[in-house]
Amino acid sequence: MKSRLSILSESEIEAIHSSSIRILERVGCLVNSPKVVKLLVDAGAMVDSERKTVRVPQSLVEDCLLKHPSSFALRAKVKENDLLIGSDRIYAHPTGGCLNVLDADTGSVRVGTTADVEVLTRLIDALDNIHECEMLVFAGDAPQRVRDVHTVATMLRNTTKICGFTPYNDRNLEYVIRLAAAVVGGDEELRKRPIISFGASPTSPLELTEDVADQLVRAANFGLPVGILPCPLSGGTSPVTLAGTLVQQNVEFLICHVIVQLINPGNPVFYCARPMCMDMRTGLSAEEVEFGLMSAASVQLAAHYKMPSDVYGLASDSKVLDEQAAFEKSMIGLLPALAGADFLSGAGSLGGDTASSEQLVIDNEILGLIFRAARGIGVNSETLAEDVIEKIGPGGHYLGAEHTRRYYTSEHYNPELCDRSARADWEKAKSKDIVVRAREKANKILKDHSIEPLDRDVEKELQRILNEANKETT
């Protein structure tokens, strides 16, 4: 295994863990689900009646930390797209939960629609550096209370990759599980081969809503891979110091992890940290370099617990496809990648709440470059090329060497969108910038790439479930 970027020393990681344990024992978390409070108390936790929090002993936390798997497979709709987590390979997925779309035709921002979900999902299915389909944008034309359910249904229809989602509430999680079960052939088949990955976010600071707590129970009962997504805002909903934010985030993660393992020991879990910073000049969250630092540190915390990490990578505050988007996404994504992240999130979004098909295609290329950087330089008898250098000698060249043909494509990443031609050739080809090239690639994918439709009976069942969900909005 190659050496990795270390933001934290081993002693600093241990200090964050020890602080987290003390806070869980002395302060605890507010848990708003009576049945989950009972679950924790029955396992040895204590209720602080004055603070109305659940305090979790160190012994329970550490016992549960022995139960999760360090590696497992994420199952996709087709086996060729299964992902082996914990294999030293980095995967990527889009941002989840954008409300808006940057319209490729008009350049204006508008609310996302079911048609947008379909287009973006088909692009994700075709892009080789994006391995999981997330709820990049919600279907804003669906009934408001069940937009998440309609979004997942559209994803299941339009990708063969695993689908990740964060539902609005526990009832909607039940509907999504029913949709996925219909696709794979029933509840038992879904338990054997979960083609969906679930995410839940505690509320910072130190609170679990009833819905989130109950969702953790439901997902674990089905054996779904669970991403625990603390979203502390440094200076707002968590301490302004980065170390303090990491401690609070870790507390919020650990109590969720305990709940999952109490329900289903050995359930796959991702350390899905989403620590952000507040810009005190605006009061808004900011995609600062500190975001990348905390993501890289979160990767180290996950490794300390011997579990896979899923952190923000390609994040940007830019509202348009410009240099700011490019350098923020590259910088914030590279740090956790070099630290050894299992998953990088963030592809396809701008400004935190807007999805873009062109940005999705550009991010696919940024991810390819990041993956190549994280792979490092392989040094062995073949790559040292001593015999090749000796054979060609002074004054020669390596263009025709068999060694060059054998290793060029594996040693050098060749981006598709980046223009590397001479200026005269670029001008002759109409001086297209990367946004134009990305739009052309997206259009070509949508023209050429197709997904096999679901079986007619499966489609009928999906529609029946959606109709049932729709009735709850009336």
pLDDT of residue 285: 83
pLDDT digits (tens, 9 = 90+) for 326-360: 999 999 999 999 999 999 999 999 998 999 999 99
Q: Provide the pLDDT confidence category of residue 306 given band limits of 50, 70 and 90.
A: very high
Share of the chain above pLDDT 70, in %: 99
pLDDT digits (tens, 9 = 90+) for 122-144: 999 999 999 999 999 999 999 99
Return all residues near 22 (Cβ < 8 A) that are at least 6 apart.
none
Across the range 29-40, mean pLDDT stands at 96
CATH 3.40.50.150 fits 72-375, yes or no: no
pLDDT of residue 48: 87
pLDDT higher than threshold 90 for residue 283: no
Instruction: Say which amino acid occupies 262.
Output: L
What's the Rg (C-alpha) of the chain?
23
pLDDT digits (tens, 9 = 90+) for 145-196: 999 999 999 999 999 999 999 999 999 999 999 999 999 999 999 999 999 9
pLDDT of residue 3: 61
The residues spanned by each domain of the chain are: 72-375, 381-411
Would you give the distance in Å from CA 60 to the centre of its chain? 28
Which DSSP string corresponds to 386-451? HHHHHHH-TT--STT-HHHHHHHHHHS---SSS--S-HHHHHHTT---HHHHHHHHHHHHHHH---
pLDDT higher than threshold 90 for residue 473: no
Q: Provide the pLDDT confidence category of residue 64 given band limits of 50, 70 and 90.
A: very high
**Sign, Cα dihedral of 291, 292, 293, 295:** positive
- Dist CA 172 CA 149 (whole Å): 6
pLDDT higher than threshold 90 for residue 7: yes
pLDDT higher than threshold 70 for residue 88: yes
Across the range 273-279, mean pLDDT stands at 91
pLDDT digits (tens, 9 = 90+) for 209-260: 999 999 999 999 999 999 999 999 999 999 999 999 999 999 999 999 999 9
Give the pTM: 0.94
Q: Provide the pLDDT confidence category of residue 1 given band limits of 50, 70 and 90.
A: very low
pLDDT higher than threshold 60 for residue 474: no
